[in-house]
Amino acid sequence: MTQTNEPTNETCAGNCTACPSATKCDDPRNTAEPKGLPPKAEISVKHVVLVLSGKGGVGKSTVSANLAYALANRGYATGLIDLDIHGPDIPKMLGIEDARLQSYDGKVIEPVRVTGNLAVVSMAFLLPERNTPVIWRGPMKMTVIRQFLEDVNWGDLDYLIVDLPPGTGDEALTIAQLAPNIAGAVIVTTPQDVAILDSSKAVEFVKKLELPVLGIVENMSGFVCPHCKAEIDIFGRGGGKREAENLGVPFLGSIPLDLEMRQAADEGRPFIIRRTGAAESPTWKSFDAIMQSLVDQIGD
């Protein structure tokens, strides 16, 4: 009988970190069971906030980047982890694409400092080229997530914002079991039914992990015309609020689809730090109100 080194359902213990065949193993217990994960990281952070969505393209990274900047501007020591390992966009949105992570003593990693109160880590800082793909399976991602938590010199943080990839897979499961002091999760959606369907799954995912749902944010809720400033409901309106009511979770607010917000992200300038015309911008007002609602939610 031919011998094989592939793990089988009878012998696999789900411990990927100690298994030499983990990169070739398709046993679902490798990522589905918490027993194979390392213990929670010991980092000095008061509140960890997870930002996730059921599907891509809803503006989750935009919310994460602006939330982190808003907290830092309010005087809070804030960290931002970009855990969208296969598509890290946070550095582009913050204008720090060319930054690289530095380490000392052979292990400790220095995050990229954006302001005196805001530090960031992202897979993008480790790639040789901007278009280099990350072709990893679950065990590799678990390792880098733990490093981003434990090996980074974050200092004492008031908030650690975690920008997760779409869905409810490896990254979300791993950070939920490794991160300390999780204040809860923010779910980002757009108004149309197909996005609401997936966002409801994200809410149920958070509830199954027995974590608080801080609330739902409805992004792209109407379009602000750059000429007349009128709002047009391109993707509909109110779907996020209705879903929040149906699921019994807070509704944090809605954000219009605004050309200036898109430009700000492409130019690496978080929209929340806009100064000129901020008081007249309905999008800026909405965003600032959502940031304040989140701070109040966590404080309560």
**What distance in Å separates the CA atoms of residue 289 and residue 273, rounded to the nearest whole number?**
14
Output the known binding site for ATP. 54-61
Angle 239-247/193-208 helices, nearest 10 degrees? 30
Length of the chain, please? Answer: 300
Is residue 118 within 8 A of residue 161, CB to CB? The reply is no
Please give the backbone phi and psi of residue 67, each rounded to the nearest 5 degrees, phi first.
-65, -45
Which residue is listed with tokens 């809803």?
Answer: 58
Q: Bridge partners of 232?
A: 223
**What distance in Å separates the CA atoms of residue 121 and residue 111, rounded to the nearest whole number?**
5
Output the known binding site. 54-61
